[in-house]
């Protein structure tokens, strides 16, 4: 059975995919995407703060400067168009 971009099982043909969608719609099987979203959300809530505490002040300043540069160059290219 083919795998999706995140490793989930997917039916190989159109009819198999239609049956899979029908089973999700009728509640026969659970859609795994909701589980993935919750898992990603839990990591995302604490991720930025946890990363900031692990980084030293020099590295944080370096990241901030790089982000500011990226934002300003984007703004400048938009204004020149």
Range of the domain at 58: 32-80
Q: Which two tokens stand for residue 46?
A: 């604490």
The mean pLDDT value for 67-80 works out to 82
The mean pLDDT value for 59-75 works out to 90
Cα(42)–Cα(23) distance, integer angstroms = 28
pLDDT of residue 24: 84
**The total number of structural domains that make up the chain:** 1
User: Is residue 30 classed as helix, strand or coil in its secondary structure?
Assistant: coil
Out of 3-17, 20-34, 47-61, pick the least confident. Answer: 3-17
The whole-model pTM stands at: 0.39
Question: Is residue 16 in some structural domain?
Answer: no
Question: Is residue 73 in some structural domain?
Answer: yes
Per-residue pLDDT for 70 more than 80? yes
Question: Is residue 43 in some structural domain?
Answer: yes
pLDDT of residue 5: 67
Per-residue pLDDT for 59 more than 80? yes
């Amino acid at each position: 059975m083919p795998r999706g971009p995140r490793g989930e099982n997917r039916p190989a043909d159109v009819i198999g995919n239609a049956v899979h969608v029908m089973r999700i719609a009728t509640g026969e099987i659970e859609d795994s995407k909701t589980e993935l979203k919750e898992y990603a959300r839990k990591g995302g809530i604490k991720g930025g703060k946890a990363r900031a505490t692990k980084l030293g002040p020099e590295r944080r300043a370096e990241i901030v400067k790089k982000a500011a540069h990226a934002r300003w160059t984007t703004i400048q290219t938009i204004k020149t168009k």
